[in-house]
Amino acid sequence: MKWSILQFLAVSLIIIVMWTLEIVSENLNIQTSSGGWTAVNSPLLTFLMIVLIMTSIYLIFVFEAKKEKPIFRYSIWSRMPSILVGAGVLSGILFIMGGTIGPLMEWVSQWRFLLYVFLIYFLLLIFLFIFSIELKRQKGSQTVEKTVHISFVWTLVLLFALFFLL
């Protein structure tokens, strides 16, 4: 029960971070040289928000690993990398199609929180994919908790590399 409450607090942290980001983004505007107004998009602030979200996801998994019967013992985890690749490709295609020929851009402009939901969803998919590969690779040779730690580090390294390459 204690671990479930801590997981709930980690989910609450994600919500608080997104709410704070929404409040801050409404107040941060600068005037461009053409006379229009634009939001300040600080790369450091963006990366910090991504790290906070990833840390919250990491905490959710750590607390799940500490439970007596974690969900990581189910046999589906052996097939999870291929399932997540399929889900990621399908999600990416639907996201792009929804943004280009569908109503997604209109929805996001009306309800900006949808953009945050998509961000969290794709970050969760990335973490789950790395975690499932690491869990399958280890095959019981180390604790699930250590696998969560390793997955967190690899996910941050990947996001750090992508952040500075792009």
pLDDT of residue 28: 59
- pLDDT score at 31: 47
**Residue pLDDT, tens place only, 119-132:** 999 999 999 999 99
| pLDDT of res. 83 | 95
Q: Is the Cα torsion angle 34, 39, 44, 46 positive or negative in sign?
A: negative
pLDDT digits (tens, 9 = 90+) for 70-105: 888 888 888 999 999 999 999 999 999 998 888 888
Mean per-residue pLDDT, 114-142: 89
CA torsion, points 19, 166, 129, 157, in degrees to nearest 10? -90
Question: What pLDDT does 141 receive?
Answer: 73
Over residues 54-83, the mean pLDDT reads 90
Task: Give the global pTM.
Answer: 0.83
Residue 65 and residue 143 in contact, taking contact as beta carbons nearer than 8 Å: yes
What is the domain partition of the chain in residue ranges?
1-165
